[in-house]
Structure 1
Amino acid sequence: MSRLSTLGFAAALACFATSTMAAQPVIGLITKTETNPFFVKMKEGAEAEAKKLGAKLLSAAGKQDGDTAGQITAMENMVAAGAKTILITSSGDAIVPTIKKIKAQGVQVIALDSPVPEADALFATNNYKAGELIGAYAKATLAGKKPVIATMDLFPGHPVGAQRHNGFLAGYGLKTLPADSNELAQPAEVVCMADSFGDAAKGQTGMENCLQKNADINVVYAINEPAAAGAYKALKAAGKEKDVVILGVDGMCSNGVGNVEKGVIAATSMQYPLKMAAMGVAAGVKFAKDGKRQAGYTDTGVDLVAAKAVAGVKSIDTKKARGQCWGD
């Protein structure tokens, strides 16, 4: 082969490589934080699916839950880097104008876990159902005994917090609000409500305050398993841990399944963050190929995990849950 031919071949090869790289779908994943095990598992799912499908994954996170400014910057940076699909767990509606802007530029936006206005689609747990499952379990466990309920909620106005709280009340058969409400229902049976922000320390403080208001609490609903663990700590310090049924949501290995095994939590609703992210990446690759945006809501599943099964409430045992839990 002549030198000219060799140069021509090299140029063609370089051109082929460039076009191949250009054809690689670029997908962005933005979570609320980098440290929460839920989002760690979500990132793992996205990375695995991107590798499997030949996509390039960009990832970023806010400094803490509620850092919408950080999420906005991440979206803008990812679009500048060529991302045509953004997967995001929203920290708040302040990101909506940016979502509208990048959609107008031809970018697909898919919400994961938390709904956000203007997103093309949502892949998430049915959080109302997650609440219903633990509510029904609590009612069956109390077996006719009058419920005196404390709730360790997220914070006011968040759709996920509202859906789980109101779903719990629905599952218990109490007066509640529908799944599309962002308000927190408070029937007479709920004697205390505290904002835990999903944090164990705040859950403990919230439970301590609730016990001061009413020492007869016998049911605790918690927005997630860390908040449930904090509530248990407060109850144990007061010598009341054996008199209260504690329920949570998430599906973590230690705080969730492990605490069900230990009797700290009576039951928890397990969600699947890895599946959310994997489905999001697959939708991003599909969009890169056919230009058709994902639309609507896709339920990524939820299972009730309980150490003891009760009649009328479908659940899985901790042995099965161990095979699909996540985080610490």
Structure 2
Amino acid sequence: MPHSTLQTPTFRRTVAVTLAAATALALGACNRGGADTTGGGGEATVGIALITKDSSNPFFVAMQKGGRADAAKNNVKLTVASGKKEGDDQGQIDAIEQSIARGDKGILITPMSTGVNAAIKKARDAGLFVIALDTPPDPPSTVDITFATNNRNAGKLDGQWAAAQLDGKPAVIALLDLFDDKIVSVDYNRDQGFLEGMGIDVADGKKNGDEAKTGKYTGGKGGDYTIVCNEAGEGAEDGGRSAMEKCLAKNPNINLVYTINEPTAVGANAALKAAGKTALIVSVDGGCAGVSSVKSGVIGATAQQYPLKMATLGMEAIAKIARGGEKPQVSPGLDFFDTGVALVTDKKADGVESITSDEGSKICWGN
């Protein structure tokens, strides 16, 4: 993960947690499996599969790049695979089957949906240590452990910031989610977290779209809200544009747009611009392109996550377990290992901790 000289309390805590985690992973000692070959340093070479949702989203490209760069440091034989696109469960299932057949010691995976759970179970039953990255599976016990952003908190930061920016004005909201035909934890946690940050009651916290469509939000100074739409953009720029067009057709007065990620946000902005409209846009990812969109004003605020850290810590963990080290532990009070989040915005909001786009650009990922 890139380094920074930021000195905010949140950043210091994030660094402290990361260093503590790395130390814990390095010092453990129990056993699970071996490996077949030995590297130059005397450590057994460990086979690991890194399976992402796709190989085009900048987030997963950065994760794959970081994994490849760190593989040699850990004497890891890394195989990178992915689905063809978001939603390609079968592509991930095939990659899991291939990892089992190769005799890998572990798998790092950003699970597509509950559709890959059975394949993950098969891998664990075969003795592989499976770590989810970025997307906690449902249920979390599907994998050995998850290294991820606290996506609920990421969404809440966006919602708290948006409520403060509205300053009591009515909120006419478009929610641009990931899917409408699959249940993915990252999808509902960001969406529902955003609503909670706005101070809007959610019905089932694991389900998008079942909250009251009108009512009062209590974040910031509070005010009236209308939820115009929940549309799926599948995490892509073109999907974000078409989803936003559908929402604007329902209500052209949308003034607040939540997006699952930054490519979706860019697409939504294009649709707004084409319609001659403006709105506050919030998102999650914190890639370098997304941070640039914050600086240019396309995105008002984005919750930054750290995919290189996820891949690095995950690879270190599997390599150490295969060589007799301890299993990693979840963060206190959570059912996953929290790799940190920071809100990036150039419009500070009272009571919402954030960093500027200049600060975010020093620790962003991707090009």
> What is the CA–CA distance in structure 2 between the aligned matches of 1:193 and 1:306, rounded to whole Å?
24
From 199, 203, 206, the equivalent of 2:240 is: 203
Post-superposition CA distance 1:288-324 (Å, at most 9, x none): 1226444541011111000121211111001111111
Question: What are the superposed Cα offsets for residues 10-42 of structure 1, whole Å, 9 maximum, x if unpaired?
Answer: xxxxxxxx8525821221111111121111111
| Larger of the two Rg values belongs to structure | 1
Question: Pick from 293, 304, 308: which aligns with 1:270?
Answer: 304
Judged with a 3 Å threshold, the aligned counterparts in structure 2 of structure 1 residues 94 and 291 are, in CA distance, closer, same or farther, namely farther
Q: Deviations over 1:144-201 (max 9, x none)?
A: 111111111111322211111100011111112565x144443312122211111222
Contact 1:128–1:163 under 8 Å retained in 2: yes
Separation in 2, partners of 1:250, 1:291: 32
Measured at CA, do residues 103 and 295 of structure 1 come closer, stay the same or move farther in structure 2, by a change above 3 Å?
farther
Q: Which residue of 1 aligns with 2:200?
A: 174
User: Structure 1: how far apart are the matches of 2:306 and 2:295?
Assistant: 20
Partner Cα distance (2:190, 2:98) in 1: 33
Separation of aligned partners in 2, 1:54 and 1:212 = 54
Q: After the TM superposition, which residues 118-197 of structure 1 pair with which residues of structure 2 at under 5 Å, given as runs?
A: 118-156=142-180, 157-177=183-203, 181-187=206-212, 188=214, 189-197=226-234
Question: How many residues of Structure 1 are paired with residues of Structure 2 in the alignment?
Answer: 307
Amino acid at match of 2:162: A
Q: TM-score by structure 2 length?
A: 0.79
Q: 1:112 to 1:35 in 2, by over 3 A?
A: same
Determine the C-alpha separation between the residues in 2 that align with 1:210 and 1:80. Answer: 46
Q: Which amino acid aligns with 1:274?
A: L
Amino acid in structure 2 at the alignment position of 1:57 = L
Verify the 8 A CA contact 1:61 1:70 in the aligned structure 2.
yes
1:142 and 1:77, CA in 2 relative to 1: closer, same or farther beyond 3 A?
same
Match of 1:285 in 2: 319
User: Using CA pairs below 8 Å that are at least 6 residues apart, which structure has the higher relative contact order?
Assistant: 2
1:223 is matched with: 260
Aligned position for 1:20: 38
1:84 aligns with 2:110: no
- Whether 1:99 aligns to 2:120 is yes
| RMSD value, Cα | 1.8
Q: Does structure 1 conserve the Cα–Cα contact (< 8 Å) formed by 2:191 and 2:208?
A: no
Unaligned runs of 5+ in 2: 1-35, 215-225, 331-335
Mapped partners of 2:359, 2:109: distance in 1 = 29
Q: Which has the higher helix share?
A: 1
| Matching of residues 277-316 of structure 1 within 5 Å | 277-290=311-324, 292-294=326-328, 296=330, 297-316=336-355
Counterpart of 2:161, as a letter, is Y
Residue-by-residue CA offset, 1:231-281 (whole Å, 9 max, x unaligned): 11121122222xx21111111212x11111111111111111111101100
Contact 2:203 2:211 in 1 (8 A): no
Q: CA deviation at 1:78?
A: 1.9
Equivalent pair of 1:162/1:184 in contact (CA under 8 Å): no
Is 1:159–1:182's contact at 8 Å kept on the other side of the alignment?
no
Amino acid at match of 1:98: A
* Unaligned runs of at least 5 residues, structure 1: 1-17
Percent identity reads 46
Partner of 1:258: 292
Q: Cα 1:178–1:121, aligned 2, differ >3 Å: closer, same or farther?
A: farther
1:54 alignment partner AA: N
Query: Residue 44 of structure 2 contacts residue 323 of structure 2 at CA under 8 Å; is this kept in 1?
Result: no
Mapped contact 1:175–1:185 kept (Cα < 8 A): no
Closer/same/farther in 2, CA of residues 274 and 55 from structure 1, 3 Å limit: same
